[in-house]
Structures are given as structure tokens and as C-alpha cells.
Amino acid sequence: MSIDIEQFHSVFFDESDEHLDDMEQLLMSLDVEAPDPEELNSIFRAAHSIKGGSGIFGFDALMNLTHVMENLLDKARNNELQVTADIVNVLLETLDVLKATLDAYRNASDVPEDEIAQRIVVLNNAIEGHQQDATDSIASQPSEEVASEDNSFGFFDDEPSTSQAVSSSTADSNDDGFGFFDDEPNIEPSSTTKADDDGFGFFDDEPVGVKDEEEKAQGFGFFDEDSLSGSSSENTEANSKPLNEGEPKAHTPQVQPSKEVITKAASPKASSKPVAAKKAPNRESASIRVDTHKIDAMVNLVGELVITQSMLSMVGQEVDGQLGERLQLAIDELQRNTREIQESVMSMRMLPLTATFNRFPRLVRDLAGKLNKQVELVLQGGSTEIDKSLIEKIVDPLTHLVRNSVDHGIESPEKRTAAGKPEKGTVILSAEQKGGSIIISIVDDGGGLHRDRILEKARTNGLPVSDDMPDSEVWQLIFQPGFSTAEAITDVSGRGVGMDVVRRNIESIGGRIDIESNAGEGSAFFIHLPLTLAIVDGMCVSVGEQIFVIPLLNIIESFQPTKQQLKTLGNDTVLHIRDQYWPLVPLYDFMEVEGAAKCPTQGIVVLIESSKKRFGILVDALVGQQQVVIKSLEEHYRKVAGIAGATIMGDGKVALIIDADSIATTYTSNQIEELLS
Amino acid sequence: MSEAVAHQSAMSSQDKEYLSFVLGEEHYGLDITTVKEIRGYEQVTKIANAPAFIKGVINLRGDIVPIVDLRIKFNVGEATYNDFTIVIMLNIQQRIVGIVVDGVSDVIRLSEEQVLPPPEFGVAFDSRYLYGLADVDESMVILVNIESLITSDELGLVAPESVTESA
């Protein structure tokens, strides 16, 4: 398990970096006179997300600090605390400490415990209104940091032979120094110390010797932030920097030749770890982040390539003789290559949910242990493939929901036994593709939502509610910002920020969240995500001249109906099969296609099961089963009833993908409704 | 001489280029910066419950793009489709839309002074969607404000914001 969790660390670090950057930007732009509540909320959410993540991975120091920070922000956004410039300063400085701590975790070096403890005190002071003291204590700090030379050895932690003499406390203060300097431009005097660090950090992997090159190494380490290329002129600059203090751009021609030589000598090591030199000597990331639009563009282009290739092979068949044979060979080769390109491009975009789901057993286990509950987590449908961009966005909401289920949903073993339930609660996390969407559900068999308590809380929060609101509307209330019915705020949950974030994140990717809950029986959260670029297994059917794709998932069976199976009800035809009456939707009618077989006995009926209804669709013929890429119609057009999206067939034509749910709701025939209900 | 050149270049910075096209008997022009490409008409995939002037969608190198026949919409000319029928692909507000026209004639360059205010009536297009009129080679070119036309509720190509939000 510990290995499994490792692979998500880098994701967490990246996410946290982003959150920290966001917070910093928001804090910088925050208007102290009249802070925008929405901005405060955003800052708060970012802190909350970092806290949540660090909780999962057991980064306690990070979690503790963000927890206090959150307290302060919570007060600020609830107007219990007047935001002042001092407070913004305190928060900004805390961000620096968080960055340093994050880096420490990332590099598996020691966490600056002292500094964190100090920050917590400062923050708590700020909460109690002693901002002045707080800033004082910080102001005195930087000088200490710079003064202690030993700091620089903090980076040797990974290498036992050299770092034995260094106590962990000095390492800590070293990190502090970094925390403080992160924001500042590289000021020369202090950078000497800093450069030292970098140099040492950089040399971690070096066996012995190379004393001569230490200085150059410093230069590299130092400059890595600015330029990763390590071009020789910059190296020279870097080298001369420690020597010519105060002349940053000193770059004298006569020195250059000799520097060049040295540069060459040092460059093999430099180029081996150009990026990681400062931050993480041992943890260079093996992946790069690519804008998903670039991948989208590639997916499209490869699709075109496939079509062009099939055109080419059609032409190739017309060429005779030896030339034709050679052409055919080349085309076969091209076909193989295109297919491989297509597969690899598609795989870039689509990821199974397994990796996301695997985060949770650990989270649930730890959480259950902490809360003295017995919880079993069941994972289902992890192989459901989902767009990469959706995965990134869905992680946070899922984490919140699973945590909520364990914390609020599942009761303590005693309560459960008293209620006649097994001691061990169950949380089921599952994913499936249904119609035009992917549904991720979190179902627990806990106590369910408390309708009365939610209504009460809503009233205290000044929300317009009434006692006879339907359940579904009551449940939606929990998505309001600052809404929590938990009695005490724990570090697990209870601030009501979670659900707010959950809905925001889900809506930002065009999804929605539904709640079902029965008191005493448990709650279920259903996240419906759209298929922006998911692949679907579909049955291609023809109606007139047009091809439609019906997702295989919806299809029960298809057959040619006999006269006896068809009954007429007013103007509508229903199908009597399996001792049931099924409404029949003629696709040519629904889709307004001309030239289709109108008599059901001449066509094929595809029995469909959607989440809402079961019905038959009348089509002309089945064409074949195929995996298709769903493309959005909304990107350039708009949503169309009954259609989940479109796809491009092998001949380059567009085929529409049927949305069974939408057909069921759109194609309503009152008579059939009445008869069947 | 040099003055004249300078004068011309100063003028040209204010000039705009228009792509002129033919609908029925009339000549129209649209801002050329919105034009993505010009293609021949190809078979479309019909969309259900769409107005007649929305012919359907096509695959434009992986993008599913709607095709609008302005001849049907504005009841000009005859909506025939043959090898010479032209589709102008427009790139408007990050959306791609194709419009079917009878033909594309020229790229014309007009200064602001050459553009006369549009008439209130007598043109197939609602004056909301018109930018102005211009005389080019003794015939009249109607300049269309293509962006407001394509994004208008009347064409229904873009789902109104309220709909997307409540959905």
C-alpha cells in the first residue's frame, strides 16, 4: 500500500503548489478595506484542499499548520475577524513556511517543525487579535536564518556520510531560511549562503572529491531557477557571481575562455540534473504536464490521419502490378503505424479510475481508526475510463465525499449495533458509464442525512426554507458555503466547506451531484459527469441514410418483431414481449429521418434500458458494434434532445450518439405513460 | 509622390478587408478575419428538431461543425446543392460555423468612409445584423455583421446562457 500511495505524492505536491500559488495571488490582490467574501472563500478552500490532501498522505506538519490557517480564514470569511494588512502579511508568511514544508516533504528531508510551531503560535495570536506581536516575532527572524551558516548542510540529510554531524534542528532552520527567501529576488549577500546549499544539494549524488568544482556547482544550482538550459554564458555568469558580489551581470570577456573549460568539465553533472538541482536531487519527475487542449488537437488530427489512410488504401487497391504490390506493402505499414499512433494518443487522454480509487482504502482505514469506527470500503467499476482532465477535477470532491461518508455517515459500532445493523459499516465507491454520462457514486449504509437538523441550520444561516420542502431540495442545502451540521469542528470534517467545494468542482466540469438519503439507512451521493471525450462501446444502427450509435450499455437485446408482438394504442405502437408492454420509439420519427422503414416488422427493435425507463427503439438495421470517440456537439453548436454527442465514422462522416435517458424523457406519449404506470 | 504613398499607407491602417459572397442576386461582404476557410458543400448529418436552415453537422478535421444555409434563413435565391455550392467556415467566438452561400466573389478592401449606413429595410437581413453598405465596382455590397448574426438567438446556434445554466 505504501508504494501505491507514493505515486500520488507528486500529484499532491503539484496540486498543493497550485493551491499555494492561487492563495498567494488572491492574498496579494485582496482588498483589505473591503475584502471580497468570494475571494476569502477561495483562499479558504485552497487551504482546506491542502489540509485534506496532507491528511490523506500523513503529512501531519502540513496539516496542522493549514488547520490553524483555516481557522483564521474561517473567522475572516464569517466576518468574525477584521482582515488587516498585518493579517495578510501573516498569511503570506505562512504560505512561505507551507512552501518550505511542502518542499521538505517532497525531498523527503526534515520538516521545519520549529518554524511550523512558531507559525501556529503566530496564527493563533492573530486569531485572538494580537497581530502586532505576531509580526514582531517574524520580523526578527530572517536575520537569524541568514546568520547560521550550518543551515546549508540541511541538504545533506540524504547522504549519511557527510551529514552525521548535523543535528536535525539546524536542518530545520535551514528550511526556514528558504521559506523566507522564496519570495525575494536573489539578493547577493544572502545568496552566497543559498548558493552553497544549492551546490551541496546538487552534489548529493557525487561520490567524493570535485572540491574544485564546488563553486561552479553553486552557480548551476543557483541559476537553475532562472534558466534550465545551462548555456555556457549563463554558467559563466553564475560562476563569477560569488566572486564578484554586487556585480550580478559581471561577464568579462577575458575570463571567459578559462570558464568555458571549467564549464565543460562541470557540465556532465549539470546536465544530468538540470532542473532538480535546487528542489529535489533525487525526485525528478518522470512526467510532464501537457495542456489538454494540445492533446485534444492531437486526437483530432490523428482521427483525420486514420481517415486519410483509409482513403489511401482504397486508392492503393486500384493500382495493379508490381508497383501496386509495393504500394500495398507501404500502405499496410502505414496502417499499422497509424493505428499505433491512434492508440497511444487516445491512451494519453483516457485513464481508468483505478488510480484515483486506490487512494481511498488508505484514507478510509486511517480515518476509521481515528474515529473508532469500523468501515469497509468497496470499490467497483475502477476500470471505467474517464477523461484525464475530469480525473484531476474529481479527486478533491471524491475525497470530501468519502471522508464525509465515513465521518458523518457511518455511525459508531455501538450505535450501529443498537440500530440492528452490522458493526462494520460499508462505503461503496463505484463508477459506471450510463447514457451520456459517467456516474460515480458514494453509497454508505450509515445514519443518513438529518432533515430536521439541516433545516434548522439553514434557518440559522438565514436561508429561505420551509418545513414542507421536498427531500431533494433539503439535501441540496448542504452545498451552501459555510453549511455544516456537525457539532464540533474536527480536522476531518465539519466546516461545511467540503460540500461547497464539491459542488463547485463538479459543476465546473459540467457535472451535477444528486443525493439520496433515508434516515437510518444511509445516504448515496451520485456524481454525474459528462462524457466530453470518453470512448463508448456502441452499436451502430442505420435509419434511412443515416447512422446512429446506441451505447452498448443501454442495450438489452435487439430483434425483429413479429406482428403478434405489436399492439396499437391510439396512434402509438407498443411492443408486447417478455410479458411486458414496452413503448416503442421509432427513431426515424424522433430524429426526423426520411426514407426509413416505417413498419416495425421490417425493421429491428433495440430494447433499451435507461436509468429512468425501458423502451424499444425502432431502427432499419444493425450495422455493427464499434468503439467510438464521443465528441461534443455543444462545442460548436448546442445540446440536442436525445443526442449525447457525435462521433466520426471511418469514412469521415458524422454519426450521432443516442442518449437513451434523454429520449426517454423527451419522447413522452401520455397514453403509454398512463397505461404503464 | 512620396506624400501619396504615405497617405495611402495611413489610409490602409484604417481599412478593413471583407470577403464578398453571393446570396441569390445580392452581393454581401463579411469581415475576412472571421473566415477560417472556404470549402465545397459536402453531405451533412441531419440534426433532429432543428430549423430548416440548419442543414446539419459535418466533420471538420475532428470538429463537429454546424452548417447554416443563409439562403433558407433569409429566403433569398434557391437552396440548391451542387458541386459549385460553397461553404464559408467562420471562426466566431471560438466556435466554428459553416454558412452555405451561392458563391464567393472577391476580397474587397474598404476604408471607413466608403461604408455607408445600412438601410432600415429592403434587405433580406434584419438591420441589426448589418454593418453598412458599400459601392464596389458600381454594384452594391451589403456588409454583414456576421458575429452578431451567428451568435443571435434568431439562428439559435448558441444556446442562451440561461439555458446552459439551468440545465
Residues of A in Cβ contact (< 8 Å) with B167: 639
The CA distance from A569 to A142, in Å, is: 85
Which whole-number Å values give the CA distances from A223 to A234, A278, A513, A658, in the listed order? 8, 9, 47, 56
Q: Supply A463's cell numbers.
A: 436561508
Percent of chain B having pLDDT more than 90?
22
Which of A349, A629, A637 to mutate to probe the B interface, most B CBs <10 Å? A637
Highest mean pLDDT among A234-243, A250-259, B42-51, B90-99: B90-99
Residues of A in Cβ contact (< 8 Å) with B157: 637-638
Identify whether B167 is part of a domain.
Answer: no
Q: Look up the CATH number of the domain holding residue B134.
A: 2.40.50.180
Instruction: Please report, as a single letter, which amino acid is at residue A216.
Output: K
Instruction: State the fold for domain A354-530.
Output: Heat Shock Protein 90 (3.30.565)
Q: Which residue on chain B is closest to A507 by alpha carbon?
A: B165
Please check whether residue A646 is in contact with residue A631, taking contact to mean a CB–CB distance below 8 angstroms: yes
The CA distance from B65 to A489, in Å, is: 51
Query: Is B75 at the interface with chain A, CB within 8 A?
Result: no
Return the pLDDT at A397: 85
Return the pLDDT at A551: 83
- Please list, residue by residue across A255-294, b when 16 or more beta carbons sit within 10 angstroms of its beta carbon and e when fewer do: eeeebeebbeebbebbeebbebbbebbeeeeeeeeeebee
Please check whether residue A642 is in contact with residue A664, taking contact to mean a CB–CB distance below 8 angstroms: no
The CA distance from B33 to B88, in Å, is: 12
CB pair distance less than 8 Å for A592 and B159: no
Query: Is B97 at the interface with chain A, CB within 8 A?
Result: yes
Q: Classify residue A138 by burial, with Cβ atoms within 10 Å: 0-12, 13-18, 19+.
A: middle
Give the A window 526-565 contacts with B, CB below 8 Å. 546
Return the pLDDT at B57: 93
Return the pLDDT at A5: 65
Give yes or no for residue B98 having a pLDDT over 90.
yes
CA distance, residue B118 to nearest chain A CA (Å): 29
Identify whether B46 is part of a domain.
Answer: yes
Which of B36, B49, B64 to mutate to probe the A interface, most A CBs <10 Å? B64
Which whole-number Å values give the CA distances from A270 to A33, A158, A267, B63, in the listed order? 49, 19, 5, 45
How many residues comprise chain A? 677
Identify whether B89 is part of a domain.
Answer: yes
Identify whether B164 is part of a domain.
Answer: no
Return the pLDDT at A339: 78
Average pLDDT over residues A38-49: 83
Q: Of the given ranges (A95-99, A314-318, B111-115), which has the lowest mean pLDDT?
A: A314-318
Return the pLDDT at B89: 94
Q: Which residue on chain B is closest to A638 by alpha carbon?
A: B159
Residues of B in Cβ contact (< 8 Å) with A652: 59
Please check whether residue A433 is in contact with residue A384, taking contact to mean a CB–CB distance below 8 angstroms: yes
> According to CATH, what is the number of the domain A535-676?
2.40.50.180
Size of interface A-B (CB pairs under 8 A): 77
Q: Which residue on chain B is closest to A298 by alpha carbon?
A: B62
Identify whether B143 is part of a domain.
Answer: yes
Return the pLDDT at A535: 62
Query: Is A654 at the interface with chain B, CB within 8 A?
Result: yes
Domain span holding position B27? 13-152
Q: Supply B62's cell numbers.
A: 475532428
- Going from N- to C-terminal start, the domains of chain A cover 1-147, 185-288, 292-352, 354-530, 535-676
The CA distance from A15 to A17, in Å, is: 5
Phi and psi angles of residue A425, each rounded to the nearest 5 degrees, phi first: -80, 160
CA distance, residue B54 to nearest chain A CA (Å): 10
Confidence of residue A536 (pLDDT cuts 50, 70, 90): low
Give yes or no for residue B76 having a pLDDT over 60.
yes
The CA distance from B56 to B97, in Å, is: 11
Phi and psi angles of residue A10, each rounded to the nearest 5 degrees, phi first: -60, -35
Residues of B in Cβ contact (< 8 Å) with A300: 61-63
Q: Of the given ranges (A19-28, A178-187, A532-541, B96-105), which has the lowest mean pLDDT?
A: A178-187
Query: Is B167 at the interface with chain A, CB within 8 A?
Result: yes
Which of B46, B57, B59 to mutate to probe the A interface, most A CBs <10 Å? B59
Please check whether residue A539 is in contact with residue A550, taking contact to mean a CB–CB distance below 8 angstroms: yes
Average pLDDT over residues A201-212: 41
Identify whether B8 is part of a domain.
Answer: no
Query: Is B156 at the interface with chain A, CB within 8 A?
Result: yes
Q: 3-state SS of A491-502?
A: CCCCCCHHHHHH
Residues of B in Cβ contact (< 8 Å) with A650: none
Residues of B in Cβ contact (< 8 Å) with A436: none
Domain count for chain B, please give it.
1
Return the pLDDT at B88: 94
Average pLDDT over residues A85-99: 82
Return the pLDDT at B125: 67
Q: Which residue on chain A is closest to B64 by alpha carbon?
A: A633
Nearest-by-Cβ selection for B45 from A634, A639, A655: A655
Identify whether B26 is part of a domain.
Answer: yes
Return the pLDDT at A656: 92
pLDDT, tens digit (0-9, with 9 covering 90-100), for A29-42: 777 777 777 788 88
Residues of A in Cβ contact (< 8 Å) with B159: 634, 638-639
> Residue A333 CB: number of other CB atoms within 10 A?
10
pLDDT, tens digit (0-9, with 9 covering 90-100), for A597-655: 778 788 899 998 775 578 889 999 998 877 677 788 888 888 888 888 888 876 778 89
The CA distance from A536 to A335, in Å, is: 23
Identify whether B51 is part of a domain.
Answer: yes
Right CATH for A1-147 from 1.20.120.160, 3.40.50.150, 3.40.50.620, 3.40.50.10470: 1.20.120.160
More confident residue, A513 or A610: A513
CA pseudo-torsion sign B143, B148, B151, B154: negative
Highest mean pLDDT among A24-33, A156-165, A207-216: A24-33
Nearest-by-Cβ selection for B48 from A592, A632, A653: A592
CA distance, residue A415 to nearest chain B CA (Å): 40
Q: Which of A235, A291, A222 is nearest to A262 (CA)?
A: A235
